[in-house]
């Protein structure tokens, strides 16, 4: 889990403007079933990569759980799912 | 030729993370690095064929063999990292399913201000939650 300072640096470096959250105790990561216990540096608990598309009512419309840490959902794939879901 | 071959395999092995992993087209499947390995393997094969076939003319039998083994080891390590280690992740079987409600939460953003999912939803058509491994 990155600290707030790490996230701030990353946002500044990359120009990200969306909310960049930190889950130091991995509570939300656990709630979403994406904990990778001991998967980080020095055996720290981290998240496995995963993307969840949530509609305005809070329903989950699309989930992408990659089987390969290098292969993540690309922006165009997510936008296609947004269109498919009619959001 | 053998040194050139080893050079290609070395570049193939160490260039993935700093260069090719930056771009989705060469990251999701490391074809650029595999091509470099192929080039290295070809050069080593030609070099060793010369060294062992015409030793009086070329020489380099020992260095050719050593570089060949080192290159194979690099290739093995690269394949292990890319095709085995990268897939050693939990399945995410406990994740909520499509159609279920997304569990609400409040977490601090990069400036420390709390962000709540249900609040975000009120001002958005949709919210995409991206879980990542830390930094990338």
Tens digits of pLDDT across chain B (136 residues)? 899 999 999 999 999 999 999 998 999 999 999 999 999 999 999 999 999 999 888 888 899 999 999 999 999 999 999 999 999 999 999 999 999 999 999 999 988 899 999 999 999 999 999 999 976 6
pLDDT at residue B20 in the model: 94
* B chain contacts of residue A35, beta-carbon cutoff 8 Å: 90
Least confident range from A3-12, A51-60, B72-81: namely A3-12
Provide the whole-model pTM: 0.85
Segments making up each domain of chain A, as ranges: 1-48, 49-87
- DSSP helix/strand/coil, A24: coil
8 A C-beta contact, residue B133 and residue A69: yes
8 A C-beta contact, residue A63 and residue A52: yes
pLDDT at residue A1 in the model: 62
**Cα distance between the two ends of chain A:** 31
- DSSP helix/strand/coil, B127: strand
- Asked if A48 and B89 come within 8 Å (Cβ–Cβ), the reply is yes
- In terms of DSSP H, where are the helices of chain B? 2-14, 24-27, 31-53, 61-79, 117-122
- In terms of DSSP H, where are the helices of chain A? 4-14, 27-31, 75-84
**Cα distance between the two ends of chain B:** 38
B135 part of contact set with chain A, CB < 8 Å: yes
8 A C-beta contact, residue A37 and residue B133: no
Q: Count the Cβ atoms, other than its own, within 10 Å of residue A82.
A: 17
In 3D space, the residue among B115, B134, B135 whose CA is nearest the CA of residue A21 turns out to be B115
Two tokens at A38?
């001991």
Total CB pairs under 8 A between chain A and B: 161
Q: Which residue has the tokens 């015409």?
A: B54
- Asked if A57 and B125 come within 8 Å (Cβ–Cβ), the reply is no
A27 part of contact set with chain B, CB < 8 Å: yes
B116 versus A6: the higher-pLDDT residue is: B116
* A chain contacts of residue B105, beta-carbon cutoff 8 Å: 27-28, 31
- Residue of chain B with shortest Cα separation from A1: B134
Please give the angle made by the CA atoms of B50, B56 and B60, to the nearest 5 degrees.
55
Over residues A14-35, the mean pLDDT reads 91
pLDDT at residue B136 in the model: 65
- Asked if A54 and B129 come within 8 Å (Cβ–Cβ), the reply is yes
pLDDT at A3 over 80: no
Contacts of residue B127, Cβ cutoff 8 Å, sequence gap at least 6: A53, A54, B102, B117, B120, B121
In 3D space, the residue among A15, A81, A18 whose CA is nearest the CA of residue B124 turns out to be A18
pLDDT at residue A13 in the model: 81
Count the helix, strand and coil residues of chain A and give each as a percent rounded to the nearest 5: 35, 20, 50
Q: Give the one of A11, A47, A73 whose C-beta lies nearest to B110's C-beta.
A: A11
| Distance in angstroms (rounded) separating the CA atoms of residues A1 and B110 | 12
- Asked if B104 and A53 come within 8 Å (Cβ–Cβ), the reply is no
- Residue of chain B with shortest Cα separation from A23: B107
Q: B99: left (phi > 0), else alpha (psi -120 to 50), else beta?
A: left
């Amino acid at each position: 889990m990155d600290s707030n300072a790490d996230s701030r640096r990353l946002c500044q470096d990359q120009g990200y403007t969306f909310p960049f959250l930190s889950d130091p105790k991995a509570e939300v990561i656990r709630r979403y079933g994406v904990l990778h216990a001991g998967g980080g540096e020095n055996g720290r608990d981290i998240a496995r990569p995963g993307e969840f598309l949530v509609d305005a009512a809070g329903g989950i419309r699309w989930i992408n759980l990659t089987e390969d840490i290098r292969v993540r959902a690309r922006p165009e794939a997510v936008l296609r799912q947004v269109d498919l879901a009619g959001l | 030729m053998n040194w050139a071959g080893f050079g290609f395999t070395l570049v193939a092995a160490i260039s993935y993370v700093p260069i090719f992993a930056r771009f989705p087209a060469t990251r999701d499947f490391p074809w650029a690095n595999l091509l470099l390995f192929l080039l290295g393997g070809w050069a080593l094969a030609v070099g060793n064929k010369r060294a062992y076939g015409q030793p009086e003319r070329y020489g380099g039998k020992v260095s050719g063999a050593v570089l060949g083994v080192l290159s194979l080891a690099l290739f093995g390590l690269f394949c292990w990292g890319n095709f085995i280690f990268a897939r050693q992740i939990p399945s995410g079987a406990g994740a909520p399913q499509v159609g279920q409600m997304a569990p609400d939460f409040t977490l601090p953003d990069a400036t420390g201000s709390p962000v709540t999912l249900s609040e975000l939803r009120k001002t958005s058509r949709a919210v995409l939650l991206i879980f990542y491994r830390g930094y990338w």
